[in-house]
Amino acid sequence: MLKENIDKIVRYCRQYQAHGYMMDERNLNDGFNVELPEEKFIRQNIEKLHLILFTGEAGDGKTRIMRNLKEVFVKYEFHDLCIDFSALTAAEKEQLIKKIRAVLSGEAKDKMVVAANIGAFTQAVLKFDLSLMEELTKKREDVYLCNFENRNLAENEDVFQKIVEDFLAGDGKESIVCKNYSCIHYEKCGFRENIHKVLSAPGREALRAICNAIYLTGGHLTFRELLSLISYMVTFGQDCEERRRYIEAGGEEEKIKYYQIFEPKADALLEKVSRMDPALKKGSCPKEIDTKEKYINYRRKNYFEAQVNYYEMLNVDYLVPFYQVLKYMNTPPYHYDTIQDKNLVLQSLKKGINKMSSQGKSDTGLVVTDTPVILGTQIRTEFMVMQDINMIWHKYDIEDSKAGQETGKFWNKFYLSYRSPKDRRLISLLIDYQQFRYLMLCSEDYFVNRNELTVEEHAVNTFYRKILQEREQVYDSILIRFDNKEDGTCDFSLTVHESEDFFTGEKTRSVRIRKED
């Protein structure tokens, strides 16, 4: 029955007065449940695993997945289960770290499962066993390390669809059919309209784009927050009785339609969504849309009806080109030479980097004038320092050993890297959404203040200084300038570009001649 289903769904909404139920849901056997990829992987690989480590923040689902797998852990003799690492004393944390080390080294045959806040766990590792984290991240078959903070619940369409459908209609069609014929809102039930829209393919994909945009722009949506967001889009924090009183008191039905999820609210999660409001962007609309309020409602509703260009309609600067680049990085070979690659967005990004590193000039090079006397006074030569450095754009998690192999995870960031000829060490500039946006603004000649960005991986000039320290020969290009051009001569540059594939070692050389005026 729809009423009973609404009574269940609304309790997951943070705006509902009885939201505390959701905090107790982990202790109930009849609560909402769905098998996510992490749980499925463990079930399929449990026989070869000896250490399982879940990290994340509150609401990510660490306790839930451990509860779901309890019988599996018992069957395969995982006796050491730490449900909350943060609750341990300092002595207990030290003892647990030592036990993990013993399992990894083979000294202990125990099988362990640990759930921890990533910050608390990392702090303990740094204090008690500095090299343990490196051992944990070696891609061992007997270790499964799952950081829920890196998980994007909207990444996979099938997984997202299953979450939505199981949450809203897990009990079948009966759960979305109302048989309360005496209800004064039976013929025009807002709950029913909202549920049908979220369950429909266009509505579900529109919601998925919102959740994906949160991840792409650097946010994190926990499993608990996703359920709260879906619940809010359906109920707006009201059960059937509260909705009836709201309407009878003169409340506007327009305010509780699914597309009003963009309406600003004093809630951290809903604030992220409201900032993406399509109504904040200018766009075409029918002639009858002649007021601000009508325009807002039209733009919001049209977002869920359009079925295409979801990311383009959201009010997020450079979201579409950023998403395009991430998809590009997620295709083989996962690394692209900055000189040879012709991706238009990456070329604009490179232009922004160049401008930022050269204080507004069009190139990154440091100019050294060194004209031989034999050429006279009419010709001037300028050697360019760091103009044609062999660098690549590449996927965030790519490694030498993974060259040409699909890495699986769709990351919300990527790298620009130079490889040192001395030890083949990668010197990298991290490019996430914030960095991408700054560089694109710079590329388009907007004033950009970078003083507030202190993350070392984001520092463009520091990135170039590190490269310069590694270079044995810094003169990459020569620019020939003619003072007198009446005879038809023109300035030109000559560059020898030596390229080595970062992973295969194959070397190529090309001479590039470019007209400069």
What's residue 504's pLDDT? Answer: 75
Which is it for strands 492-500 and 507-515: parallel, antiparallel or unpaired? antiparallel
- What are the pLDDT digits (tens) for 116-151? 888 888 899 989 998 888 888 777 889 998 889 889
Spans of all domains in the chain:
2-27+153-245+256-313, 37-150, 323-515
Handedness of CA 212, 213, 215, 221 (dihedral sign): negative
Asked which of 133-147, 350-364, 477-491 is least confident by mean pLDDT, the reply is 350-364
- Which pair of structure tokens corresponds to residue 279? 């109504």
Mean pLDDT of the chain: 82
What's residue 475's pLDDT? Answer: 55
Judged by DSSP in three states, 473 sits in coil
- C-alpha 362/C-alpha 443 separation (Å) is 10
Q: Who has greater pLDDT, 478 or 85?
A: 85
Tell me how crowded residue 377 is: count the other CB atoms within 10 A of its CB: 9
- What are the pLDDT digits (tens) for 444-454? 877 555 544 44
- C-alpha 169/C-alpha 176 separation (Å) is 7
Kindly report the pTM of this predicted structure: 0.81
- Which pair of structure tokens corresponds to residue 187? 């013929």
Extract long-range pairs of 58-62: CB within 8 Å, 24+ residues apart. 58/117, 58/222, 58/224, 59/222, 59/223, 59/224, 59/225, 60/148, 60/149, 60/151, 60/222, 60/223, 60/224, 61/36, 61/148, 61/222, 61/223, 61/224, 62/115, 62/148
User: Three-state secondary structure along 375-408?
Assistant: HCCCEEEEEEECCCCCEEEEECCCCHHHCCCCCC
Q: Which residues contact 72 (CB under 8 A, 6 or more apart)?
A: 42, 43, 46
- What are the pLDDT digits (tens) for 33-53? 788 889 999 999 999 999 999
For residue 256, what is the DSSP state?
G
- C-alpha 79/C-alpha 75 separation (Å) is 10
CATH architecture of 37-150: 3-Layer(aba) Sandwich (3.40)
Strand partners, 202: none
What's residue 406's pLDDT? Answer: 47
Q: Is the pLDDT of residue 27 over 50?
A: no
Mean pLDDT of all residues in 182-203: 83
What's residue 395's pLDDT? Answer: 94
- The per-residue DSSP string of 211-230 comes to HHHHHHTT----HHHHHHHH
- C-alpha 393/C-alpha 431 separation (Å) is 10
Q: Is the pLDDT of residue 377 over 70?
A: no
Question: Chain centroid to CA 446: how far?
Answer: 25
What's residue 31's pLDDT? Answer: 59
